[in-house]
Amino acid sequence: MDKRDEGLYEHGINQAKCDLWCNVGYRMMSVYIFSPDDVIDVIKRSSFREGYVYAPGGRITAKGIHVMPKLIKGIVIKPIPLDIFNKFMKPVKDSKSTSEKGQAAALTLTAMIGDGCVDLPGVVCDVTDQTDQYACKDLKLADNRTIEVKFDMDAGTKNPSHKDVNNVVVPYDSLFIQTHENNKYKKH
């Protein structure tokens, strides 16, 4: 086992019991919404690079796969309106808290749905039940579907910070699809 994998637990796309997955991208100011099954299908058929997410100071917070969004069947990509971006996303850019960033991503998607920017029925509630959260269900929609929401700083970009497990820059536009996370509470 790679030493960097110590403290990481399987929690991500492969455990998803949600209906939809959404990466909320900071740099491209866009949301990327797709079915977990569709991205798993792309991952199985293609060869993508694995990588890590590092918190300031070098602590690994997640492991995942850099997937090209254009290969995900049925993906919906919508720009985040500037007023919503400035209200929810901009304040957390430099936050060291993955929880704050995740909450900002969920609030951004909720606001976009509420404003009609994304064609989904309104958000009924944040999912607070831990069992559902571990099943990758962050938001519940009016039609009872659930969505996992992830903050993805570099979503949709070919960015020097997107590096694979060998510390080599990923040479394609990508979304970071989480497969593992560092969960100090070991609740998964």
Report the alpha-carbon distance of residue 177 to residue 139 in Å, rounded: 18
Q: Residue 57 corresponds to which tokens in the numbers above? A: 């100071």
- Whole-number pLDDT of residue 188: 42
Please check whether residue 132 is in contact with residue 146, taking contact to mean a CB–CB distance below 8 angstroms: yes
Please state the φ and ψ torsions of residue 41, each to the nearest 5 degrees: -60, -45
Q: What is the 3-state secondary structure (H, E, C) of the chain?
A: CCHHHCCEEECCHHHCCCCEEEEEECCCCEEEEECHHHHHHHHHHCCCEEEEEECCCCCEEEEEEEECHHHCCCCEEEECCHHHHHHHHHHHCCCCCHHHHHHHHHHHHHHHHHCCCCCCCCEEEECCCHHHHHCCCCEEECCCCEEEEEEECCCCECCCCCEECCCCECCCCEEEEEEEEECCCCCC
Spatial strand order in the sheet of 20-25: 76-79, 30-34, 20-25, 146-152, 139-141, 123-126
| pLDDT for the residue numbered 79 | 97
| pLDDT attached to residue 184 | 55
Residue pLDDT tens, the chain, 188 long? 688 888 898 889 998 999 999 999 999 999 999 999 999 999 999 888 899 988 778 888 899 999 999 999 999 999 999 999 999 999 998 888 888 999 999 999 999 999 999 999 887 777 776 776 666 778 989 999 999 999 999 898 876 666 778 888 887 888 999 999 886 555 54
Q: Give the model's pLDDT for residue 124.
A: 77
How far is 173 from 180, CA to CA, in rounded Å?
21
Cβ neighbors of 83 (< 8 A, separation 6 or more) are none
Query: Which residue matches tokens 């590092």?
Result: 54
* C-alpha to C-alpha distance for 13 and 86, rounded to whole angstroms: 28
pLDDT of residue 163: 74
